[in-house]
Amino acid sequence: MMVNSKRSFSALLLLLIGLVFVSMIVSASIGQVSIPFLDSCKILLYQFTGINMGHVDTVISNMTFEIVWQIRTPRILLALIVGAGLALCGSVMQASIQNPLADPYILGISSGASLGATFSIILGHRFSGFFGEFDLIVWAFLGALIATFLVLLLSSVGEKMSVIKLILAGTVVNALFTALSNLFIYFAKDAEGVRSVSFWTMGSLASADWNDLPLIAVIVTIVGIFFLSQWRVMNAMLMGDDAAMSLGINLNIYRRVYLVITAILTGVIVSICGIIGFVGLIIPHIVRIFTGSNHRYLVPTVILVGAIFLTWTDLLARTIIPNSELPIGIVTSLLGAPVFMHMLIKKKYGFGGN
């Protein structure tokens, strides 16, 4: 069913918001320790709103409270935020580069963050350590910004920046930074550091903590509000540079601004969670089946669907293997690759006017 009116779009948003809350309750209840859904619902309602249903603060045990609120809820919220952010970045980059295969990693942003994190983990005791407990986050973030700067610099050499030059520059930067990361790992003598880098590059939400949430929540919210207001420009991007120029829109300026903003957001996400692939690639394509390519409907729907998708993916990652968990990046790739191949074969997706 295609969304073609404000009424149907509002109904879709209400449905997705309801699914967000259902996903939170289910994810808070399922794990190595099973908790009744009603208890999880009461705890979350009490902690978020102060509504005390059935004297939840005295009836439910302290251990259950700790598991739901201190261990699982920060991880659930981080999954919601990261999923929304990655899906948003994917939809913006696909419009900016006019490439349906674009996601937050096509321009080498993730390889830059990976290089910064590898530097911090492998050589942290020698050259980093300037930022204390935020050392890994800051270095990964700086790596992402450097990668973005190099892509914009290379794509601007010679004639004006073009979509093809952006993609080629991203490929070059991705190869260069990946090679440098592998070089650090190859010469590293720290076995524990190499293991940490390997786990980090596969993505994980296991270290989620309440202290991690404010920064990433504020950044994702600000970026989300900004791009929600940019749907007209992103629609113009799908028509091409010449058509946009006839409307008085200089896409080169908007493209640079959008790429820098998505790089900042992706750098923050990657620095906290590691590399989680396919979310920014798959979710916008799935959403276009229902909303079409109009970013007025696409962007808010992508944000909610991305949040829901990563919440359920994280639940699968931490429950599919008893007494252990898979890195979430592996799960998103295993789920995303077949879906994307099916969509390519069946051509059940839209991009621009196609």
Residue 131's pLDDT band, with cuts at 50, 70 and 90, is low
Structure tokens at 130: 């300037």
Residue 65's Cβ-count burial label (10 Å; 0-12, 13-18, 19+) is: middle
DSSP letter at 172 equals H
In the predicted model, is pLDDT for residue 316 greater than 90?
A: yes
Quick one: pLDDT at residue 196? 73
Single-letter amino acid code for the residue at 23: S
In the predicted model, is pLDDT for residue 354 greater than 80?
A: no
Sign (positive or negative) of CA dihedral 253, 257, 262, 264: positive
CB 319 within 8 A of CB 62: no
Closest by CA to 148, choosing from 186, 116, 110, 182, is 110
d(CA 30, CA 76): 12
Q: Give the C-alpha distances (Å, rounded to integers) separating 250 from 92, 211, 233, 240, 352.
A: 16, 40, 10, 11, 18
Choose the most confident range, by mean pLDDT, from 60-64, 242-246, 297-301, 328-332: 297-301
| Residue of 16 and 182 predicted with greater confidence | 16
Structure tokens at 164: 């093809």
Residue 345's pLDDT band, with cuts at 50, 70 and 90, is confident
In the predicted model, is pLDDT for residue 70 greater than 80?
A: yes
What global pTM score does this model have?
0.88
In the predicted model, is pLDDT for residue 138 greater than 70?
A: yes
How confident is the model over 147-173, as pLDDT tens digits?
A: 888 988 888 777 666 677 877 888 899
Quick one: pLDDT at residue 27? 96
How confident is the model over 85-129, as pLDDT tens digits?
A: 999 999 998 888 877 777 777 778 888 888 888 888 777 655 545
Single-letter amino acid code for the residue at 251: L
Quick one: pLDDT at residue 159? 66
CB 147 within 8 A of CB 178: no
Closest by CA to 171, choosing from 89, 106, 112, 110, is 106
Full DSSP string of 248-297: T--HHHHHHHHHHHHHHHHHHHHHHH----SHHHHHHHHHHHHHTT-HHH
Q: Give the C-alpha distances (Å, rounded to integers) separating 303 from 54, 90, 228, 271.
A: 34, 10, 10, 20
Quick one: pLDDT at residue 352? 56
Mean pLDDT of 192-213: 81
How confident is the model over 229-281, as pLDDT tens digits?
A: 999 999 988 887 777 777 777 788 888 899 889 888 888 888 888 888 889 88
| Residue of 285 and 217 predicted with greater confidence | 217
Domain ranges of the chain: 77-346
In the predicted model, is pLDDT for residue 331 greater than 80?
A: yes
Quick one: pLDDT at residue 326? 87
CB 40 within 8 A of CB 67: no
The class (CATH top level) of 77-346 is mainly alpha
